[in-house]
Structure formats: structure tokens, C-alpha cells
Structure 1
């Protein structure tokens, strides 16, 4: 396990990149159709990216969670399984760096939905997440985890899933203004933001 030598001086990648994305995004689009699509969701729902980001930061800062070296982009295409050896390898470390342990795990849960044809019904259930976390912590801690450790990580995953949706939403918004790839980044960004808001509302009820 790689951990920063001084946690107090390390700014998690989540916040570093999110702030970079926010700086690089403008609410003004050159395309009128994109502008209408953006306004129809963000303006009509009176959404402030900066305000929502501040609320998310506040929630995360209140959590008890480790900062470790993370991949930060664990979608299925970046996880390779060799059936002949039983080994798992990871590729594409573009976003790798020190981050909240819970973010990497929660982001992985979110990525079950896919990217091209997003289906959030494919994401693991609460019990499936719990079982996954038990196996993860058993390996990470090198001993069976306590019920408290498992439930704490499971509880935190709701906030970190919200963080993952926010992160990739604003990433997609930036891409919608800069990328030449034929993909509906704006639509994807709006979809991820809807999931972010839903999870934030769920957290407020807990």
C-alpha cells in the first residue's frame, strides 16, 4: 500500500482535478444546440457547479477515510483479467495519484453502468457492495475486517459515489467544449450530474 508521507500536505487528486475542470469550463457554448441543452438542465434547475462542489467537499472532509495511491479511473476497459494465470492487471494511469481510498472503490461501483450505453441498474446492490468490501478489506488489512470497518466503508461509498459522478460530470462538460471525438459528452455529463444530485439528496436523508 502506498500512502503519502505527510497526509496534511497532500491534496487528493479528486479536488485537484475537479478544480482544474471547473476552471477550464465555461457556461457559454459556441453551439446553440449545446447551449440550449446545457441551459435546459443546469440553468432551469438553478444549479451552481461551484456551490455543489463546496457542499461535496464539506461532506468528504468530515469523513474518516485513508488517502492512498489510487488508479481513479477503474472502468472495465482498464481492468485486465488473465484467465490462464488468474491475475488482474490495470492499465491507463492518466488520473492515478494520491486520493481518497473510498473514491477509487465507489468510482469502480459506478463504472458497472458502462459509458456508451449507460445502465445504472447494472451497478452492484448494497449487499453486493458489502461482500466486495469484505473481500477487499480482508486483503488490504491482511486480516478479517470488523463489521464496523465494513459498514463504515459501505456508508462512505454513497458520498464517494456522488463524488465520482460529480467528477466525471464536470470532466464531460469540459470535453463537450474541447473534444473532437464523436460522443455526446454533454448528455453524458448531464446524466452523471443527475446521479450526483440524487445521491446527495439520499445522503441528506441519512
Structure 2
């Protein structure tokens, strides 16, 4: 065997060893169940439905976080309950407002917080996935607009980028577990909404 072939084999083995070690790193800062799933599990088990929560908060220009609350029930915390569907490199996200009390009781809102429907693509990497989403439509939500120099307004399409880690229990997005579920119904945003207005 020539030294060129031996060097090539050594490089390939080194790369394979490095890759296998780096893909099993744990991140202790994430929610419970954050052990990274093996590469085989990522490839064969990633597609499907996931359900999780997203805080109903906004951040101002100074970085201050402001979370929505109901003054009549300040002990309740508000979230968007997300139903996430992954199909190959396509992703769909339906979000509905819920509030959770101190005794873990859940109330579903008929309008507060809005109902958001997104679709987009995902990009996988060694430790997780990035979701690049565009809003298709929403119910009970305001419309962001851009004001032109002549005073006219133009709607701005909402976009959202979520970064998740693949775990043995599902996906951890912004510290919240999106658990794999067995939901077998279609999400609202999977249907052709090309004729539907943004808001």
C-alpha cells in the first residue's frame, strides 16, 4: 500500500471519529431530556408532529422582555401552544393562545394573543435544527405596516426563526420541550392559502 493511500485512510478515519464524538455532546442548559439523539435517530425519527409552548412575550429595543398577562388573573402565565409538523425539509407551525395557572390548569383563549399560522423550511446541523418560517395568516392579531414617504402603508410579512436542539424526547426550542406527539390530523397551514390575505 502506498503512503498516499495510508494517509487518505488515516484522514478519513480521523474525520469519522471526530464527527461521531462531536455529535453526542450534551447541553446542560436546556430543558429536561436534552441529550442529543444519535445521528441514526435524527435521520429516521425526525419527521412527525411535535407539541410545545412558546412564551407570549416581546423584547423592546433596549432588550427588556415584556410578557403578556391578564390584569384580572396575574398568577396565570400566557403562552402560544404550538403544533409543529416536520415533513422532510418543510415545516408547518400552528400557534394557539393558552394560559396556565399556578396549579397547572390550562385555559384556551378565544382571541387574546392571536392565532398564528406559519410555514417554512428547516436546516439541520450536528446538534439541532433551524426553522425559517413565514407567516401565512393569523386570526385576532394586529398587522405590522411600513409607512412610505407619501404616507401610504404597506403590510409587513412576519417571519420567525427558531433554533432547536434534537433530543431523545423531541425538540427543545427556546428552553421549552416540543414533545413528539401522535397527532394524525392536518394543520390549518398545510392547505393552500395563496388566495388568503396575510391578516
Q: Which has the higher strand share?
A: 2
TM-score, structure 2 normalization = 0.25
TM-score, structure 1 normalization = 0.24
Q: Which has the higher helix share?
A: 1
